[in-house]
Chain A
Amino acid sequence: MTATALPSQRTETAARSRRGALGKVKKLFFPVAPAYLFMVIPAIVLFTFFIIYPTIQGMFWSLTNYVGYGTWHFVGLANYKAAFSDPTIRDSYGFTLLFAVVACVVTNAVAMALALALNAKIKWRTGLRTVFFMPMVISGLVISYVFTFILSTSVPIIASAIHFAPLESSILANQHTAWLGVVFVASWVAIPGAIIIFLAGLVSIPTEVYEAASIDGANAWKKFQRMTFPLLFPFFVINTILTFKGFLNVYDVVVGLTNGGPGTATTSVAMEIFSGFFNGDYAYQMANAVIFFVITMFFAVFQLGVMRRRGGVL
């Protein structure tokens, strides 16, 4: 590698010195070709202005007692200390993590099963795919309002007609079961997106490998276990990362279904952070947001590490 690189480098250096002073100036301001800069700089500027700048601003305010307007002063790490001992915040993390893990497993398992079904040689395949993608284009808030009605009105009526006790009263009105309703609806919303990625993965698997497996006498389960799943693994990893990240930030589905209740049983971290804006607790919830950011970063790095180890190349 080094041996082949050297001559070309030498030629380049020679060419540059011939170009003289102008070349040096160019090199100083355009270390890479201008065409790349035209593509990269707008992205960096927008990312900095809309993501990095507000993040740093939020971190700054988390060290103050600011409410969004008016007078303020520094309070050091007092917001962080209080956040760690606040049972309301602790409970919101408990709910959000439990919800994200369960919903992530449910979404990926169901989406993979549906993707396999929709990739099989079945009648009305295109039409069925369209039907299954529909939840994706409806607003999460609309879906959750519809499901609030279904879960708290329709389901109990049907359940009492067939004498199925667990669903005879609304699961959303019970402190211990409300989170299951949130998992169900949030997964329902997230499954189509996961199906699309799985389908893309399934299409990329060459049919020859299945033909070879059939000749060797592999049954359907063996084919899935030994061929489909390993070849689909990179897609599985990216889906896990995307859905888990999405579920950690859950907001609209909870607001529409339970608004964090009953009591505070289904209050998510994102809801807790947003509440600070109207409760006069802006700086305090900014501290919460920074803590949440660190936790999310930890998960992201951990998942990326797993992906690299298992040879995912996305």
Chain B
Amino acid sequence: MKAVGLGAAALAVPGLVAGCSSASSGGPTKIVFEETKPEVVPYFSNLAAKFNASQSQVVVNHDSISSLIAEFVRGDPPDIDCDNYNLTTSIFVARGVLANLASLPQAKTIDPNIQALVTQYASFQGETSVLPYSIAAEGVIYNVDLFDKVGVSAVPTTWTEFLTVAEKFKSAGITPIYQTYGDTWTTQQGLFDYTVGGMIDVAAFYQQLAREGTNLGPNSAVSFEKDFTAPCQKMLSLAPYFNDNAIAKYYANGNTAFAAGQAGMYMQGPWAVGEILAINPKLKMGTFALPTTDDASQTKCRVNLDLAIWLPRSQAPAQRTAAIQFLDYLMQPNVMNAYNQANLAFSPLKNAPPQTSPIVAGLQKYVSSGRFYQGPGTYVPLTIPVGNFIQEMMLTGNVSGFTSSMDGAFQRLAIRTSA
């Protein structure tokens, strides 16, 4: 795969500076543990301190600010990392710079449905490059008291029931669903991912799309035009149930409005829960997966690999051993399950205890049974401004404009990535 020529070798030199190896000559081995999710930095600093106190061979230094891409370019990645796994970080997997963890005993403790989420973005020669640590599941957040007020006793399980709930709110003079088109990510991760993700097999669609490559067009087996038109139209059909002037509303406005009980439902992930509770600590909330068909057994929920652990491929033996020792500590079932319980997330371990928080417990059955998908928007490389395309579609109602923009962008991407 790697082209090696005289010129290439000479030019590639700056990228090959080896990582710092403070190989132990007595004393403990020092390793860098990187974890940058802002909300849980103190949680992991605390875990690292506990680990450091529990033994004397390894000293873990928690780095919560560095940029991984810059570190890889410098040839100086952390010894162990636990961060969000998404399409951008999956490039580390695709380019083979992560260690193969298949032989670790922990690799066998992960639910295979959840491990599959890693390879849906990228894989390298069949290796196990990344171990899931925490799954965030997302659905429609609802105001429990307002559901009681308008007379909804159970969460909707079919599309028809969902529309009935929305109608009840509308006739009661309460905004059924709060939308914020102001920032592009909110509509993309909520409304768009839920409706499209609920109606298609997301992973299979993108896999086939990649196979189409440069042939993507009106005659290909899959395309945004063929597969996304109906879901997008369904999404736009919900517009009468949204608040007015959604384009001038931003994430913070949405949280404030929902916390103040101005709307019955809100399409956001568990990250919004903390913000909402900060405004109104007494608000009672629950979450249900958006049903997009009238067959309740078809309903799925959106998930993402909120945290996942990996080690770099090139690493001094002492650092590798020490990093695995810390991985053993982090991935003990009680440590892992406690983290997920405390952070409104789901543990990726087989036979993990169910999430008990009533706010997100409604999604447990989907996570346990593998009825989930990674958002269709998350498979789109950052070079394609899918959020802006969705924003434009929400404002103009032009679905074919959206699908042709997406097909064109993916085809151009295929032209240069297939060469």
The interface of chain A, by Cβ under 8 A from chain B, is 56-57, 60-61, 64-65, 67-76, 78-79, 81-82, 85-86, 88, 263-264, 275, 277-281, 284
Contacts and interface: CB of A to CB of B under 8 A. Distances in A.
A74 B11 contact: no
B72 A76 contact: no
Contact of A264 (B14, B381, B385): B385
Nearest to B77: A69
Contacts of A76: 419
Nearest to B384: A88
Interface string B338-373: 000000000000000000000000000000000000
Contacts of B2: 71-73
A82 B416 contact: yes
A68 B416 contact: no
A69 to B, nearest CB: 4
- Most chain A CB within a 10 A radius of its CB, from B3, B96, B383: B383
A82 B95 CA distance: 22
Given A74-B3, A76-B419, A277-B69, A56 B11 contact: yes
B7 A60 contact: yes
Interface in B73-105: 73, 75, 88, 91-92, 94-97
Given A73-B3, A78-B419, A281 B388 contact: no
Interface in B385-419: 385, 388, 391, 412-413, 415-419
Nearest to A75: B419
B15 interface: yes
A269 to B, nearest CB: 15
Given A57-B11, A280-B88, A71 B381 contact: no
A88 to B, nearest CB: 7
A15 B328 CA distance: 81
A69 B97 contact: yes
Interface residues of B, number: 32
Interface of B: 1-3, 7-8, 11, 14-15, 69, 72-73, 75, 88, 91-92, 94-97, 381-383, 385, 388, 391, 412-413, 415-419
30 contacts: A57-B14, A60-B11, A65-B416, A67-B95, A68-B72, A69-B15, A69-B73, A69-B75, A70-B72, A70-B91, A70-B92, A70-B95, A70-B97, A71-B95, A76-B419, A78-B418, A79-B416, A81-B416, A82-B413, A82-B416, A88-B383, A263-B388, A275-B383, A277-B69, A278-B382, A279-B382, A280-B91, A280-B382, A281-B383, A284-B383
Contacts of A57: 11, 14
B13 to A, nearest CB: 9
Contact of A65 (B8, B412, B417): B417
Contact of B385 (A69, A88, A284): A88
B72 A69 contact: yes
Contacts of B15: 68-69
Nearest to A57: B11
A141 B136 CA distance: 36
A93 B416 CA distance: 20
A277 B67 CA distance: 11
A10 B75 CA distance: 60
A281 B96 CA distance: 17
Contact of B415 (A74, A82, A264): A82
Contacts of A65: 416-417, 419
